[in-house]
Structure 1
Amino acid sequence: MPTSRVDTALLATAWLLVCTTLFMLVAAGHVGAPLWLMLTAHVVLGALIQRHAKRKPAPAISPPRPLQSLNASLADELAGIGRLSFDPASGRHRWSREFCRIAGLPPMTAPDEACLEALMPQGLKQMRVTLARHAKDRETYTVEFEIENPQLGTRLLRARARNMFSPEGACEQVLMVVRDVTEDYSQVARIEEARAAAVREAEEARQQANTDALTGLANRRSAMQSLDREIMRARQSGEPLALLVFDVDHFKAVNDTHGHAQGDLVLAEMGGIIRRQKRDGQFAARVGGEEFLMILPGADGRAASAAAERLRLAIDHGTRMADAPSVTVSVGHAALGPGDTSLTLFARADEALYAAKRGGRNQVRLAA
């Protein structure tokens, strides 16, 4: 029989005996007759009391421990955060044990003025400027400041801050949850550096693809693209445009007499002279073995003729002064006409170049 049912039966029996005894006492008027009943009731009640005395109470089941009861310091350490507070009225700081770890300080170091100045020579001002700017904010905001970690050097900390206000509306305290974000910024900086390097490499590759390695001038492909753009711009603006095409006189003789290495030296020297002669907005290129061009935006026939003559003289005199065989050039120039494309303009200037060669070389000719 279960324990609860046994207890109930014993209790009922004991009460039945007590009630019967009382009834008999009242009916008989003396105590002798029901004495055995009283003894029996006492025995039953004693057995019931003894049974309850021997029973052990069931252990109480403890409720599961709530997550909020975890040690706050351990939770902060696991999250990699520290806690910091600031009293605007007194200027007093307080911080947690975990903040000391982030800052590289011994545990529970007091944030006195000397400690703050050593830890945040620049960051203290950064922090207080930001806090003053957000002094009336009711929502959380971000604060970033630098510290000097004794082991790791300069570190950047980021805090989520919240102002605590008095009933009168005064900011009594600023609570901050702080995290070291130095590595985050370093990673961003590395990504930006890699991106910038990729852009530089792409630009260098583009320049190499469009540049003549020997002279440092643009190559033929880049020159024709630029000529197309300048023709379109001249059509839209109505401004004049001229093209010079020039060629080294007797360049084969230079190679045959002095060797190809000296011929390359002549071309490299010419590249330097042409770059120095080129004005802002003008474009120069090597378009063949010893053939070059120069695009002159805004130049009419007279200006183009003067530029061509100036270039011819510069190459004649410049190569005489260089440690390379001296050379001359023949120059042809043409002005953009109503029906010209880049190809027809180049062809007309090139024809003027060959007219200069047929006329005796080392001279300038205007296209028909």
Structure 2
Amino acid sequence: MGLFDRIFGRGRDAARARSAEVRGELARAAELYAEAGRPLEAARVMLLRGDGDPDHRARLQHYTQAAKLAPEGTPENVEARRKRALLLLALVGDVALSAVNRRDVEDAARELEAVGEHERAAEAYASIDDREGEARALTAAGDVEKLEFLLASEQHKERGQRRRRDRNAEVDLLVTSGRRREALELLELLARESPDDATVRERVASLRARLARGPMVTFALGALGALGEERLTVAFGRELVVGRTEGTVLVPSSAVSRQHLAVTREEGGFFVRDLGSRNGTQLRGLPIRGALPVGEGLELRLGREVPVHVTPSALLAGAVQVEVPGQRVSSAFGPVVIAVGDGQWVLREGADGLIELSAKAPAAYLGDVALGDGTTLLVGDALAAERGGPARLRVVG
């Protein structure tokens, strides 16, 4: 599309957006403003949707979307965040708080602080007995009288210590139950609130290091200690590239180009393709051209020197295996399905690169704890298909 097409196309989108807004078609108007490159107008319309929607949960979504559309720090962004936080507090209500509601109130209080609503933030912190947050917000609000009263409380220090103990226990529970992202978020919050606490900093670093991350993770299939346990390195992603310095599988050979060979999944099966390498990719001594189907397997050579064996995986249904000297990597180019008895577990890479497990039939157990759907995996996890049973899947690293 040319420059004039883009300019006039966006102008037409903006005009259509204004017309839709006049007709009261706010959802369509917001969409067209976004397409026209006018995020502030899109955010303004989403705020109008939130103000007019009788469904509180829908209003919350509209304000959240408005905050995302408007650039950080703009009046529309600040207003959307303020309205979202206040609505969140209203939805939680008067709380003898559950863990979930506490997190909602904390999120709202931090958001109110960020947009300058310090007095409301102090009230929110007080409702969950967060004296440190309340003191911080009162300081920013300049409310000396309330701050002095708070700091004079003999129980202030004791409450802070008890709160930290409770939070650490909550982290342990989140880790054990498979909710590792939430555990890390809570630990990072504790580290920000107590920057001098070395123990919390160490826990943050340890948990980060143990999170199973793509693009490649090694698993062990089978019962722990059994001779039949099989190690399996899985590449998550939509393409598997073999290269000397860039790609999924790295081969330190001068015969191999920086990015040499791609393996992909397309309609009709798996295919290999040379990426314009300097020394080419050969099949039975002849260079391959274009996309070559893997079929039942291919014996290739990179630069006439390095052998590459590409075959359908014997361990994973719907996956391909790539073997080079010293390395064997499998990929399904998407979610990985692992057969477990008569059922299956599914592994997938989240948007943040963390590896998640979906296990419904059969359920997955970590010791005696049944894991929920979408569990974030840690290196060292040993998962069984029954409570206290032998491990069927271990996360090696």
TM-score normalised by structure 1 residue count = 0.17
Q: Which has the larger radius of gyration?
A: 1
Larger relative contact order (CA 8 Å, sep ≥ 6):
1
TM-score normalised by structure 2 residue count = 0.17
